[in-house]
Amino acid sequence: MTVRERYEELKNTLNEHSYKYYVLDNPDITDEQYDRLMRELVDIEKANPDFVTADSPTQKVGGKILDGFESVTHTVLMQSLQDAFSFEELKEFDSRVRGTVDTPVYCVEQKIDGLSVSLEYVDSVFVRGSTRGDGVVGEDVTENLKTVKSIPLKLREDIPYLEVRGEVFISKPDFARLNQKREEEGESTFANPRNAAAGSLRQLNSAIAAKRNLDIFVFNIQQIQGREIKSHLEGLDLLRRCGFKVISNDKGFDTIEDAFDEIKRIGDIRRDLYYDIDGAVIKVNELSQRDKLGSTAKTPRWAIAYKYPAEKQKTKIKDITVAVGRTGVLTPAADLEPVLIAGSTVSRATLHNIDFIRQKDIRIGDTVVIQKAGDIIPEVVEVVVSDRNGSEREFFMPETCPACGARVHREEGEAAVRCTGGACPAQAVRSIIHFVSRDAMDIEGLGPQIIEKLVDNGLISSSADIYYMDKESLASLDKMGDKSAENILSAAEKSKSNSMEKLLYALGIRHIGAGASKLISKKFKDIYALFDATKEDLCAIGDIGDIMAESVTDFFAEPQNRDFIDKLSRAGVNTKYIEQESGDNRFEGKTFVLTGTLENYGRKEATGIIEKFGGKVSGSVSGKTDYVVAGESTGSKLDKARELGIPVIGEAEFMEMIK
């Protein structure tokens, strides 16, 4: 078998297994077996980039970064549906339909609460995906849709042209995990799964969309060539055979009463579904009857959406407590008198931040209306002000961290209140993971799982404790052993000789990245000099602004952070800046901007080379820029450079400059 033949075999095998896993939910190989096949495919593509085709499963990983979304004009309008909120409105719809066509058969489908998109296929290969937009013009989000594992990159049947409509969504468990992570990192949470799906699809970096675990149900054929479809149910059957996830009954209903019984059945099970629905849709099955019924300017006359009412309950806030997340963000939550809502007992609801509390004027002792966002996360909808009796108390965020006692800080323009303690136990795992990472102290062998074990077993509680571990305790961990323990301790010992900038970056000071750490270290020479540094001292360094300077001074003003540095120093960790003389300062005084993808260098590698020769790399183009190095898939930086007359060089010219 040739390499090309093996590549085609692997590609088809992996696409088949993806279909069984993500569409049929019936895998027949293990994750390990799938990963082994995928690694083989990736290796072949690396060695033979000309083999790569649009239907390769590697194209679902994501990573392309766009400057913006192109507009897409829909050939077939993506209309919205008329809403109904009662059986009487459904009967009126039925009367209108029967006034135009005889003996209609209705289909009833769950109405997914997500984002409507169009998917287009040419010769069975996925070529473009777009949002609904205003129904006439949407946005090209092809790269993000490629990351949705349940969207086939190649149809399982040969069709010259096909356009389908579907609803992109995030499952209830993934939505809960996403919001928890965002809350821990101090980001605003999504109000519901639909907002989460929409926000994910509009990411310019498809790698971010890929991490969101988007899913899709396809529910309609918009256009098709090479096949004749006479009914909606027939079309859905074809879509299943093509490899799409389809959510529909295979059953037709002869009366509106039978259709409404199905709507009620769906309503009874909707809380048990792993995805969120906000209603059910009734559609006329026969396409010829749809043509007779036609459409208004906004909605089709052959379909209607029944909306389920949101379930709400009243209860009382007993107290408001504050939890500290892994990123140091303080999040208030309401302790409630238990109440049954959407099938489960609720006794706690997040209050997000102090701005949310003030906007709704929420007080301890208030009677409030609760609902579940997307039937998942309990939230306070409103305060019942008329139930107040004067005993209610206003809530204030604490001035010190409930977990470690360090001062808390809220930056101007941000909703999040954060702990400033570098040794805060609530942040221990995350801060240690950052501390040992490659760009920080670079302690090889200490991965996230081992760090969690170390913390859980009480062997360390902060990053400084790494330098006080002993071999016996470390080797006693499950699946560790003497050799692994020796390697970790050796890597920790080696890290003690790092230059100051790596230590400064490892501290995880907000807004201070690796580049800023190097600039500050070059200026101050010793981390202890930062104990008495002022904002003015720091702002005197080029590229260090007010917010960055304030983050540094706030960090070193906290006693527990100074104690942390002392503990590192006692362990023998170097705190001074080590000058690295390259002997070649050909780029001294020159500022570079990198844009696009370089073939031979990663972004960090190219930056390191420029800095080695005394130059500086900036993230934006300005009048102070000397060169813009442009790779493939460049963006707005290139346009800005041309507008300002900044020299633009390609990768070949850059390689000549660094010879």
Q: Is beta strand 408-409 parallel, antiparallel or unpaired with respect to 215-225?
A: unpaired
Structure tokens at 647: 């020299």
> Across 210-351, where does the E strand assignment appear?
215-225, 277-284, 303-307, 312-324, 329-341, 344-350
Structure tokens at 304: 């209607």
**Contact predicate 406/424, CB 8 Å:** yes
The alpha carbon of residue 602 and the mean position of all alpha carbons in its chain are separated, in whole angstroms, by: 23
CA torsion angle 567 573 576 579 (round to 10): -170
- C-alpha separations of 311 from 116, 308, 369, 375 in Å: 25, 9, 10, 9
Q: Is beta strand 363-364 parallel, antiparallel or unpaired with respect to 393-394?
A: antiparallel
CA torsion angle 331 335 336 337 (round to 10): 170
DSSP state of 496: T
Structure tokens at 641: 């450079």
The dihedral sign for the CA sequence 426, 427, 430, 431: negative
- C-alpha separations of 643 from 19, 256, 638, 646 in Å: 48, 63, 9, 8
HEC sequence for 618-650? ECCCCCCCCEEEECECCCHHHHHHHHHCCCEEC
**Contact predicate 354/332, CB 8 Å:** yes
Q: Of the candidates 417, 435, 424, which has an alpha carbon nearest to the alpha carbon of residue 573?
A: 435
How far apart are alpha carbons 446 and 368 in whole angstroms? 47
DSSP codes joined into one string, 374-421: TTTEEEEEEE-GGG--S--EE----SB-TTT--BEE--TT---EEE--
- Set 20, 64, 91, 111: catalytic member: 111
CA torsion angle 597 598 603 609 (round to 10): -160
Structure tokens at 334: 């309401």
How far apart are alpha carbons 10 and 577 in whole angstroms? 51
Q: Of the candidates 428, 406, 429, which has an alpha carbon nearest to the alpha carbon of residue 418?
A: 406
Q: Is residue 479 flagged as an active site residue?
A: no
Question: Where in the sequence numbering do the catalytic residues fall?
Answer: 111
